[in-house]
Amino acid sequence: DAGVIQSPRHEVTEMGQEVTLRCKPISGHNSLFWYRQTMMRGLELLIYFNNNVPIDDSGMPEDRFSAKMPNASFSTLKIQPSEPRDSAVYFCASSLNRANEQFFGPGTRLTVL
Amino acid sequence: QKEVEQNSGPLSVPEGAIASLNCTYSDRGSQSFFWYRQYSGKSPELIMSIYSNGDKEDGRFTAQLNKASQYVSLLIRDSQPSDSATYLCAVNLSGNTGKLIFGQGTTLQVKP
C-alpha cells in the first residue's frame, strides 16, 4: 500500500511568490496533519484535519499560511506571499484516527530566496 | 519548561551495546507516546508506540513508560551502525486530540 505522498519534493522560489504544497494521505486514514521542521524550532504542527474538517490551526504562523482539504484524498498548504523565513521542510502525515499513530510523507524542502 | 524534553546528544555507543534514549513530558494527562527515527534528510519513521505503564518490546527495541514520573524511554539492544539517526519522542496531549508534541530529538551515533 502506498504511503503518504507529497509534492513537490523540492521547491525553490523567490520572496513574494505563492507556494502550494500538496499531500495525498494513506487511503482509509481520516486524519491529516501538516508539520514544519527547522533546525531552530524542530518539528512543529501547523494544522490538522479530521474527516476533512480543520480541527486545530493554532500552529499556523501567520495569515500568509492557509490549508485546505477538499476531499479525503487530497490536501494543500499554501503560503502567499512567501518569505525567506518560511524556508523549511514541510511534512504531511496521516493517521487512522486522530489519536493513533501518524505516518509521515517524504516532505517538501522549501527554499525561499 | 518545554512540553517534551529530550537530551539532544549526541549519544555515542559502541556497536553491540544498549542505547538508552530518554524523554520527559509536562502534560500529566497525556495518554499516547511515540518514538520516531529520523535519518538525515529523511522523514520521521514510526518505530514504537506505547500507551500503558511498563515495557513494550518489539525486536531490538523496548519502550518504557512511567506516567507517574512523566517519563518515557527507548532502549535499543545490540545497537548497529544503521541505528545511527535522530530519535524523536512524541506525546499526544490530554484528550487524545491528535496534536502530537515532539521533542527536539536525540542524535544517536553507533560506532563500529
Strand pairing category for A10-13 and A108-112: parallel
Residue A50 sits at the vertex; the CA angle it makes with B50 and B52, to the nearest 5 degrees, is: 15
- Residue A112 amino acid letter: V
What is the grid cell recorded at A82?
A: 512567501
What is the model's pLDDT at position A1?
64
**pLDDT bracket for residue B9 (50, 70, 90):** confident
Whether chain A has a CB inside 8 Å of the CB on B51: the answer is no
**pLDDT bracket for residue B1 (50, 70, 90):** low
- Residue B97 pLDDT exceeds 90: no
Looking up cell 531490538, which residue turns up?
B60
Q: Which tens digit of pLDDT belongs to each residue from A10-42? A: 999 999 999 999 999 999 999 999 999 999 999
- Residue B88 pLDDT exceeds 90: yes
What is the grid cell recorded at A1?
A: 500500500
CA dihedral (B66, B80, B87, A94) positive or negative = negative
Whether chain A has a CB inside 8 Å of the CB on B15: the answer is no
Looking up cell 515532539, which residue turns up?
B102
**pLDDT bracket for residue A54 (50, 70, 90):** very high
Residues 1-60 of A with CB under 8 A from B: 31, 33, 42-45, 48, 50, 55-56
Q: What are residue A41's phi and psi, to 5 degrees?
A: -110, -5
CA B42 to chain CA mean position, Å: 17
What is the model's pLDDT at position B93?
78
Between CA B11 and CA A61 the distance in angstroms is 33
**pLDDT bracket for residue B2 (50, 70, 90):** confident
Mean pLDDT across chain B: 93
Between CA A4 and CA B104 the distance in angstroms is 23
- Residue B11 amino acid letter: L
Contact status, residue A3 vs residue A107, Cβ threshold 8 Å: no
Whether chain B has a CB inside 8 Å of the CB on A105: the answer is yes
